[in-house]
Amino acid sequence: MARGSLLSRFQHPTQVVVLGFGAAVLLGSLLLALPVATTSGESAGWLAALFTATSAVCVTGLVVVDTAGHWSAFGEVVIAGLIQVGGLGIMTLATVFTVLVSGRIGLRVRILAQAETKTLSMADVRVVVGKVVLFSLACEAAVATVLTARFLLGYGEPFGRALYLGVFHAISSFNNAGFALWPDNLVRFVGDPWICLAIALAVIVGGLGFPVVFELLKTWRQPRRWSMLTRVTVAVTAVLLVAGTLVFLGTEWHNLRTLGALDDPGKFLAAFFTAVMPRTAGFNSLDISQMHPSSWLATDVLMFVGGGSAGTAGGIKVTTFGLLAFVIWAELRGEPQVNVGRRRLSEQAQRQAISLAVISVGLVAVSTYLMLVFTPHNLDRVLFEVVSAFGTAGLSTGITADTGTAGQLLLVLLMFVGRTGPLTLGSALALKQRTRHYELPEQSVIVG
């Protein structure tokens, strides 16, 4: 009876998704707290273990200890596993296991998988989940092959070490995690196009979102057949990548501590790489702490927007950002409906986009205030850290380890909320949906 009562409290799919991610964080924390997980043979402590596990499961990349120097091979494998679990999604993996064991999926499991993969039809969940897993593994294998070859032939690493580095960073990049096995992240490879472009491409593909990727694979030669989701995602992604590259080139071109020390091709490569990473992958080939505050602000905006829906990226998503632009444009033109191409945007989608954006802005504002109270750091660095955690970007100006216990716990909460989504988390906390069976009289108010 008690068991049935407990299960009845968690019937909404989003509740199970949140609980699944929470369970993964807890398990990862326990594993990383083991003495065998560190190079020193001593426990990392509960806070470092919790922070790292949350950052890995939420595919963020923020760290309070040096990944390569602090964690043992066991710890690094645990981190890679948590990144893979977080990237594919707890419910996606659960659905795959159900298929392998029973050969069929029940209605409830289909609903749970739909909530995680954002598929538009429950009937296709089984096929979609299989494609997601196969596509993810194939992309990671391709990137791992390129990176392994480069580390082996270009840097003289032994085959075993080169393969290990290739696989780890392939998983980290495709899942938009940003964990790297060097103290300076990827700064030492700033001029290496093989490594930078392979990782950047993995980040872009992983961050587009699986529905968009699958549609592009089928109809990439026929843009007129693209859905509204694909059109908006591709367009906004392209605009942000180009705009971000130009902004970083303009602001950092003469900065000798970043782009200024590179030749012209190296500057373009580094600027493009830096523009890709705020899609919520925490890799950096430039020293973020040495960038101009104007570049930090531009990065804040890119991290807040994030990547595509139903992918491995975080942020409010480019879809939300793009739809809000269409809503504003329609309002400025006085149009009664919001049209995207030859399709009308539903009122429900408009409300969801506005709600998500407003909730996210509020959460970032409150968290920034609290972080300013908890830490001695200035507003530029604190805002950067908060947006990075919420957008699961993982980029940092170098203050993560110096935010104290309260600050790090706040970042843990932001990473978790940023991965599960403000609306998903809010829905999970609601025990039931309420339906209103009447409408109130309409009345206009003055806005502005």
For residue 181, being part of any structural domain is answered with yes
Looking at residue 433, its pLDDT comes to 54
Per-residue pLDDT at 406 exceeds 70: yes
Looking at residue 411, its pLDDT comes to 96
Looking at residue 250, its pLDDT comes to 95
For residue 433, being part of any structural domain is answered with no
CA dist 269 and 239 (Å) reads 17
At residue 277's C-alpha, the angle toward residues 195 and 304, to 5°, is 170
Question: Beta partners for 343?
Answer: 340
Looking at residue 97, its pLDDT comes to 52
Confidence of residue 298 (pLDDT cuts 50, 70, 90): very high
Q: Are 79 and 57 in contact (CB under 8 A)?
A: no
pTM of this structure: 0.88
pLDDT tens digits, 67-80 = 989 999 999 999 99
* Number of folded domains that form the chain: 1
CA dist 369 and 41 (Å) reads 38
For residue 398, being part of any structural domain is answered with yes
HSE of 136, CA atoms in CB hemisphere, 13 A: 29
Rounded to 5 degrees, φ, ψ at 339 are: -115, 135
Work out the average pLDDT over 391-408.
93
Per-residue pLDDT at 431 exceeds 70: no
CA dist 83 and 55 (Å) reads 8
Rounded to 5 degrees, φ, ψ at 331 are: -70, -40
For residue 448, being part of any structural domain is answered with no
CA dist 324 and 357 (Å) reads 9
Confidence of residue 2 (pLDDT cuts 50, 70, 90): very low
Q: Are 403 and 411 in contact (CB under 8 A)?
A: yes
Region of poorest pLDDT, from 129-138, 163-172, 173-182: 129-138
Mean pLDDT of the chain: 86
Rounded to 5 degrees, φ, ψ at 62 are: -70, 140
- Which of the 8 DSSP states describes residue 344? E
Amino acid letter, residue 26: L
At residue 444's C-alpha, the angle toward residues 440 and 447, to 5°, is 135
Region of poorest pLDDT, from 101-110, 261-270, 276-285: 101-110
HSE of 264, CA atoms in CB hemisphere, 13 A: 0
pLDDT tens digits, 211-264 = 888 888 888 888 888 888 888 999 999 999 999 999 999 999 999 999 999 999
Q: Please name which of 47, 46, 36 lies closest in space to residue 71, comparing C-alpha atoms.
A: 36
CA dist 435 and 422 (Å) reads 21
Cα first-last separation, the chain: 54
Confidence of residue 426 (pLDDT cuts 50, 70, 90): low
Confidence of residue 5 (pLDDT cuts 50, 70, 90): very low
Q: Are 407 and 371 in contact (CB under 8 A)?
A: yes
Neighbours of 425 (CB within 10 A): 19
Per-residue pLDDT at 1 exceeds 50: no
Per-residue pLDDT at 34 exceeds 80: yes
Region of poorest pLDDT, from 44-53, 241-250, 310-319: 310-319
From residue 329, alpha-carbon distances to 206, 289, 324, 348 in Å are 30, 37, 8, 18
Region of poorest pLDDT, from 4-8, 125-129, 164-168, 299-303: 4-8
Mark out the alpha helices in 306-403 (DSSP H runs): 318-332, 347-374, 379-390
For residue 185, being part of any structural domain is answered with yes
Per-residue pLDDT at 279 exceeds 90: no
For residue 320, being part of any structural domain is answered with yes
Q: Residue 219 sits in which domain range?
A: 9-426
Local structure of 12: helix, strand or coil: coil
For residue 431, being part of any structural domain is answered with no
β-pair type (339-340, 343-344): antiparallel
Looking at residue 308, its pLDDT comes to 84
For residue 436, being part of any structural domain is answered with no
> Which residues, 6 or more positions from 444, have their beta carbon under 8 angstroms from its beta carbon?
none
